[in-house]
Amino acid sequence: MTELPKKEQLYELIRANPFISQQDLATQLGLSRSAVANYIATLVRERRILGRAYVLPDQRPILCIGASNLDRKLRTLDRLVLGTSNPASQDESFGGVARNIAENLARLGAPTALITAVGNDASGRALLAHAEDAGIDTRGALRLDGVASGAYTAVLDRDGEMVVALADMALNDRLNPAFLATRQQQRASAALVVADLNLPRDSIAALLDDSVRDGVPLVLVAVSEPKMARLPHNLLGLRLLILNEGELAVRVGRRLDSDAAIGAACVEVQRQGAQDVVVTRGARGVMYTSPTGVMRLDAPAVDVVDVTGAGDAFAAAVAWSLHSGSEGASEGADLGLACRRGLQLSALTIECEQTVCPALEPGQLDVPSAIPLNESVLD
C-alpha cells in the first residue's frame, strides 16, 4: 500500500488529536518544525482546519462554560416537617448547570466540550472522568490544587419537588477573564457557546464581547435569583437568555404578575441587547420571543419523579436545536421548535430519578414528540 503524503499523514494525526503540538507532529512524521508549520498553513488556506488548535470544520463543538459539582439529593420519606429531623433517602450524582447541559448534549450526539473548574481532589477527578466517559471534551477544564470541588445539596419533598437547595460554588469565581483568555482559541472555534451565571460578572461581560468579535452565538442560562446580579446591563452579543419568572423579575426590578407583564419584561431585555429570551414556567410551560411577538407554549403533563435537572435538560435541548438548525425555517420558528424539544427533554428528565436521563440517546429529538403542545401568541 502506498504511504500517504506527509501533509495527509499530518492531517490524520490532527483529526485523531486536534490539540497535538507542532513538536509532536514533527517528531512523529520525521519533519522539521518549519515544515510542519508550512503544512498547517496550507491546510488552513484549504479550510480543512480552522487555524490554531487545528479545529476541523465538521467537529466544531457546542462549548459549555460554568459549574461542575457533586450533587447530593435528600428526599423525605413522609411529609416534610421544618424544625426537626425528617427520615429521608439519599442519592449522590454528578451535577452543575454547565456540566448537566454538556452531558445532555453529549448523550444527544452533539460534539460537546466543557470549560469548568474542579479541585484536584477525588470529586474533581471523578467529575472529569465521568464527563469524558460521556463523550465530553474536558481538556479546557481548570484543575486547582488545595481547593475542594463544588457541591450542591437539594432537599426534596416526598413528591419530588425541591424545598431548599444549598450550593458551594465559590470555585467558579476562578473562571475569571484572565483564565478564559487562555482558552480564547477554543472558544472562538466553537459552533455555539452556552454559559451559566455561576461565572463572575466580568467573565460574562467578556463572553458577550467575544461573541460580538468572533461571531460565535452565545446562550446564557440563569441559575438563581441572587446570581442575576452577575448579568451585565448591556447584553449586546447575546443570542439567547434562558431564565425563569423569578429571575426575569429580578432583572427588570419589578413583580411580574401576569403574562402581559412577563411579555413586556422580555421585550425590555431585548432592548438591552439580547436577541431572544425564553422564560421557563415549570408546569405552565414557557414563553419566548419571536418576530411576531411573545409566544406561550404549554408544557406536557408528566408524572413527577424528580424535578432536579429539568431546567438544564430544557436548556440543552434548546441549544442542541439551535446548533442543529432547521432548514427553511425562520429564526422565530427555530426557537419555537427548540422550546418544544426543550419541553420534551425536560418532561423525560422529570420522569426519571437521575439528573440527566440515562435513556437519552442520539436521534431522540429528531422526531417531534407525539404529545400535543398548545401554542399561542401573547395578546
Spatial separation of the C-alpha atoms in residues 280 and 288, rounded to whole Å: 9
pLDDT digits (tens, 9 = 90+) for 274-313: 999 999 999 899 999 999 999 999 988 888 887 878 999 9
Give the E-state strand segments of the chain in sequence order: 62-65, 69-76, 88-95, 112-115, 117-119, 136-137, 142-144, 150-156, 162-168, 192-196, 218-221, 240-244, 276-280, 286-290, 293-297, 375-377
> What is the model's pLDDT at position 234?
97
Element (H, E) at 332: helix 331-350
The separation between CA 207 and the C-alpha centre of its own chain, rounded to angstroms, equals 14
Q: How confident is the model at residue 327 (pLDDT cuts 50, 70, 90)?
A: very low
Instruction: With beta carbons less than 8 A apart as the criterion, state whether 115 and 140 touch.
Output: yes
Matching residue, cell 404529545? 371
Instruction: With beta carbons less than 8 A apart as the criterion, state whether 35 and 23 touch.
Output: no
Instruction: With beta carbons less than 8 A apart as the criterion, state whether 102 and 90 touch.
Output: no
Spatial separation of the C-alpha atoms in residues 317 and 322, rounded to whole Å: 9
Q: How confident is the model at residue 332 (pLDDT cuts 50, 70, 90)?
A: very low
Spatial separation of the C-alpha atoms in residues 373 and 301, rounded to whole Å: 10
b/e code 136-165 from CB counts within 10 Å (16+ = b): bbbebbbbbeebbbbbbbbbbeeebeeeee
pTM of this structure = 0.79
Spatial separation of the C-alpha atoms in residues 379 and 209, rounded to whole Å: 35
3-state secondary structure of 290: strand
Q: How confident is the model at residue 49 (pLDDT cuts 50, 70, 90)?
A: confident
3-state secondary structure of 331: helix
What 8-state DSSP symbol labels residue 91?
Answer: E
Q: How confident is the model at residue 373 (pLDDT cuts 50, 70, 90)?
A: low
The x, y and z cell numbers of residue 286, run together, are: 414557557
The x, y and z cell numbers of residue 170, run together, are: 465559590
Between the alpha carbon of residue 373 and those of residues 6, 333, 349, 352, 368, the distances in Å are 55, 15, 17, 21, 11
> What is the model's pLDDT at position 100?
96
β-bridge partners, 119: 144
Q: SS3 letters for 3-58?
A: CCCHHHHHHHHHHHCCCCCHHHHHHHHCCCHHHHHHHHHHHHHCCCCCCHHHCCHH
The CB-side HSE value for 105 (13 A sphere, CA atoms) comes to 32
Spatial separation of the C-alpha atoms in residues 168 and 154, rounded to whole Å: 12
Pairing of strands 69-76, 150-156: parallel
> What is the model's pLDDT at position 37?
82
Work out the mean pLDDT of the chain and round it to a whole number. 88
Spatial separation of the C-alpha atoms in residues 123 and 365, rounded to whole Å: 32
Q: How confident is the model at residue 331 (pLDDT cuts 50, 70, 90)?
A: very low
